[in-house]
Amino acid sequence: MPKNYKEKNVYDAAIERIEEAILSFDDFYVSFSGGKDSGILINLVIQVARKLNRLPVKTVFSDLEVIFKETERYTKHIMELPEVEPYWLCIEELDDNGSSVYQRYFKIWDKTQKDKWVRPMPNMPYVINDNNMPPEFKKYMKPENLEYWSLENFGEYLCDISNIDNICNFIGMRSTESYGRHMAIATKKNRIKKNNHTYLTKTVAPRTWTCLPIYDWEHTDVWHYYAITRKDYNRVYDSMFRMGLAYSQMRTCSAFGEEQKKSLWIWQFIEPETWDKMVQRVAGANFGKLYNHTNINRGKIKKPKNITWKDYLEILMKELPPLTRENFKEKFDITFRYHKTMYQDKENISPDIYIQDSRKAARLKSQETGLSIKYFISYETLCSAIIKRDFVFKKYGFGYSNKMSERIKKMEEKWDSVL
C-alpha cells in the first residue's frame, strides 16, 4: 500500500473517518487494548460522538490476565469516563504461547488454575466473565479458537441485543507498527472494502465492519497528540522509554504471542512481582525471557558437524514432545506435497533439484538452473522452524488451520481431565 501524502493532516483525516463511519452504520463501538493507539482512538471517537450527539461510546476490553498493572489502571480510567459504556471481558480463552514446546497454549482465567492467576480477576460491575456472561453472548463461545472468539463476535452480540443490521468496530491499528499489521490493513482477500480503512471480513462476523481511523499515523503523531492534549495514557511506555527500548519493542498487549514474545524479557524489570507469577503460570516463560530476543530466534542456526541438515532434522523431530512433533510433521508434509504438485507434477522439476540440504545449496541450485528460490525446500529451513519454535511455520506462509484448532480443543480437554 503506497503512501499518498495529502495536504490534510492525520488528525483531521481521522476525525473525518470516524464521523463518516458513525453516520454510515446503525451503531458503533471501540475495541480498546489499553495501549497508546487505542487510547488516542477512544478519545477521538468520544470527541466525534459528542458532536453528533451519539454518546455514550460502547467500549470493549479483553483482559488477558497477564497484563501490566498500569494497563489495568489506565483501562479502568477509560472505562469509567462518563462518555463510555464499558464492557470488560475476563473470559476463559486459549492464548498463544510461543515460548514452550510443552505448553503450546495456555488458558487465560482458567478456573482450574485460579491459585496461579497472575492477578485477581477485576470485580467492577461492568466485568463480564464465565459466571455472568449473557446468554446472547455465550452462544458465540468458541473456547478452542485462538483468535479470541469473544472479541471476534462482540459486534454480533451487540447487533443481537440492539436488534440492528450492522455495526462499526473502531480499532486503533497503525500500518507502521509492523509488516504484519501493514498487510492486515492492505489485504483485500475475503473482504468487502468500503474504503481503505473500513471493511467487512466475509468469513468472520457478517454484520460487524472494521474501521481503522488512525491506520496512517506514525509513532511521532501518536506522542505529539498526547503532548498537545495532555490526555492520560498508559505510563508503562515511560518505563519502556527509560529502558532505551525502540518504539517497535514497546508492546503492552499479549506477553507470550509469536510477535510479542521478543519483548518478554522486559517484564522482569518493569514489574518483577508480576514476572514471578508469570514464570509459575506459563511454561517456558523463563526460557523465553532469556532467549526470545536473542539470535536463537533470528539469524543463522548451527548443526552438529559431520551430519547433514536432513539427519539433524530427524534428531530434532525425535526429541520433540508427541503433539509438537505432530504439529511440525503436518506442516512439513504439506510443504513437500505442495512442491510436488506445483513443481514436480506440473513443471516436471525433479525433487533432486527442488529439495536441497542447506539454504546455501538451494541458492546455488537456483543460480545454476535459473529457477526462482521459491521453488526450493531446504532441510536447514525445516530445522530452523523447530529451533526457533515457529509452530505456525510462517516461513512458508502458514496460518492457524482448522485441524490445528481441533488439536487445540483436544489438548484443552486433556488438560481439563488432568487438572
pLDDT per position as a tens digit, 80-131: 999 999 999 999 888 877 777 677 778 899 999 999 999 999 999 999 999 9
b/e 191-208 (16+ beta carbons within 10 angstroms → b): eeebeebbbbeeeebebb
Residue 26's contacts (CB-CB under 8 Å, 6 or more residues apart) are 159, 162, 164, 165, 166, 167
Cell of 98: 510461543
Q: Where are the domains of the chain?
A: 10-220, 235-297, 309-387+389-418
Could you tell me the pLDDT band of residue 419, with boundaries at 50, 70 and 90? very low
Dump pLDDT digits (tens) for 117-145. 999 999 999 999 999 999 999 998 876 56
Is-contact 158 58, C-beta < 8 A? yes
Predicted local distance difference test score (pLDDT) of residue 287: 78
Q: Is the pLDDT of residue 226 over 60?
A: yes
Reply yes or no on domain 10-220 having CATH 2.60.40.
Answer: no
DSSP state of 120: P
Asked whether the predicted pLDDT for residue 66 surpasses 80, the reply is yes
Q: How many residues are given for the chain?
A: 419
Sequence-ordered list of residues with C-beta below 8 angstroms from that of 65, at least 6 positions apart, any chain: 90, 108, 109, 117, 118, 119
- In order of 151, 231, 287, 410, the CA distances from 403 in angstroms are 22, 45, 28, 11
Closest CA to 110 of 126, 129, 138: 129
Per-residue confidence (pLDDT) for residue 418, from 0 to 100:
42
Q: What is the pTM of this model?
A: 0.74
pLDDT of 146-186, one tens digit each?
Answer: 556 788 899 999 999 999 999 999 999 998 775 555 566 66
Mean pLDDT of 23-27: 97
Could you tell me which residues are beta bridge partners of residue 89?
A: 62, 128
**Half-sphere exposure (Cβ direction) of 269: Cα atoms closer than 13 Å:** 14
Q: Which three cell numbers, joined as nine digits, stand for 131?
A: 459466571
Residue 50 has pLDDT above 60, yes or no: yes
Q: What is the pLDDT of residue 266?
A: 87
pLDDT in the model for residue 283: 82
> Residue 9: is its pLDDT beyond 50?
yes
Read off the pLDDT band of 1 (50, 70, 90). very low
Residue 247: per-residue pLDDT: 80
pLDDT tens-digit readout, 316-351: 999 998 888 988 998 899 999 989 999 999 999 999
**Alpha-helix residue ranges (DSSP H) falling in 282-348:** 285-291, 309-319, 322-339
Q: Helices (H), strands (E): how many in the chain?
A: 17, 12
Find out whether 90 and 121 touch, Cβ atoms under 8 Å.
yes
Question: Can you point out the beta strands (E) in 68-172?
Answer: 84-90, 93-96, 105-108, 127-129, 167-171
Among residues 132, 139, 176, 173, which one has the least CA distance to residue 154?
Answer: 139
Is cis: bond before 351, omega within 30 of 0?
A: no
Cα distance between residue 2 and residue 36, in whole Å: 25
Closest CA to 301 of 192, 184, 244, 385: 385
Q: How far is CA 84 from CA 60, 258, 311, in A?
A: 10, 32, 59
pLDDT at 186: 64
pLDDT single digits (tens) 180-223:
555 666 666 677 888 888 999 877 789 999 999 999 999 999 99
Identify the pLDDT of residue 90.
96
Helix axes 36-51, 219-229, angle to 10 degrees: 60
pLDDT(403) > 60:
no
Among the ranges given (245-254, 306-315, 344-353), the one the predictor scored with the smallest mean pLDDT = 245-254
CA distances from 237 to 38, 62, 332 (A): 14, 20, 40
The pLDDT assigned to 364 comes to 93
Q: Average pLDDT over the chain, rounded to whole?
A: 86
Please name every residue paired with 195 in a beta bridge, in sequence order, or none if there are none: 198
With a pLDDT cut of 70, the percent of the chain lying above it is 85
- Can you tell me whether residue 268 is helix, strand or coil? helix
Query: Tell me, what's the pLDDT at 49?
Result: 98
Are 21 and 196 spatial neighbours (Cβ–Cβ below 8 Å)?
no
CB-side exposure of 123: number of CA atoms within 13 Å? 2
Q: How many CB atoms lie within 10 A of CB 3?
A: 7
Measured between alpha carbons, how far is residue 60 from residues 31, 46, 63, 408 in Å? 5, 14, 10, 26
**Residue 184: per-residue pLDDT:** 63
DSSP bridge pairs for 191: 201
